[in-house]
Amino acid sequence: MTVLHLADEGEAADLAAFLSRLIHYDRGAAVRLQAAGTALAVFGRPPSFEVLAIRAVRLAKPYENGLDVTLDVTVSAGEFLESVDESAGMAVVPAAVTGPPWAGVLPPRGGWRPEPGLPEPDALRAMVAAGVTEFRSRTGELADERRTRAELDRIGREIWSRAVGTTGLPVRAVHAAQSLGFLRPTQSAGAPVLISSGAWLRLRTPYGSIAVRRAGLGTLDVSVR
């Protein structure tokens, strides 16, 4: 049994909240866990947003009894959530599952550089609110015979695929960051930043990151592991 000793109760609570939000969008969600030293990265893909969500978790020590130095496994998000003991600051790694296709293709570990043009946090939140309002307005105006899943999806894709200013980052990435608790009203730990590496863009905040592929760059510069 692999036991993760989290840095404190706050880390355990934030991890549990992240897993709960993933399960809200996909009850059968899987997460890929990668750990080395005292850092754990939890990767998930909420299907509603078509992005890769990354939550970094601080560990007090890597593993029970120090038997391993690294961890790389895909598990059920629900089972992992059930194992989180917030008061004890611990979590048990459940049995591995056959990972979905996205779990085999992750952003590169290095080579990230800052990208200009990201608006302030308040502007980002306003952008998401405007998108939600527009979606509700446009779908609410549809006649009954046109109110199909295909038409709702088309309107949603049109709105959330728009770029954030000149950055190339789709608005859906910001929407995902807010919905998953990464884009909080008080950014006392630092403002979000936009970084890139090859075909990937990454919206990084003190509470987690959202990674997406740049449009039109296909599968260049991915890390398969």
CA atoms within 13 A on the CB side of 201: 26
166-198: buried (b, 16+ CB within 10 Å) or exposed (e) per residue?
Answer: ebbbbbbbbbbbbbbbbbbeeeeeeebebbbbb
Convert the pLDDT of each residue in 182-211 to its tens digit: 998 765 667 899 999 999 999 999 999 999
Q: What percent of the chain clears pLDDT 90, i.e. is strictly above it?
A: 76
Q: H or E element: which one contains 137?
A: helix 121-140
Q: What is the CA radius of gyration of the chain?
A: 18
Supply 120's token pair. Answer: 């302030």
Measured N-to-C along each axis, helices 121-140 and 149-160 cross at an angle, to the nearest 10 degrees, of: 150
Whether 96 has a pLDDT exceeding 50, the answer reads yes
How many other CB atoms are there within 10 angstroms of residue 155's CB atom? 14
Residue with tokens 């296709």: 101
CA atoms within 13 A on the CB side of 83: 18
Convert the pLDDT of each residue in 98-117 to its tens digit: 989 999 989 998 999 999 99
Task: Report yes or no on whether pTM surpasses 0.85.
Answer: yes
| Single-letter code of the amino acid located at 169 | L
Convert the pLDDT of each residue in 15-71 to its tens digit: 999 999 999 999 999 999 998 888 999 999 999 888 999 999 999 986 554 555 678
What domains can be seen in the chain, in order of their start residue?
2-106 (3.10.150), 113-224 (no CATH)
* pLDDT computed for residue 185 by the predictor: 76
CB 99 within 8 A of CB 74: yes
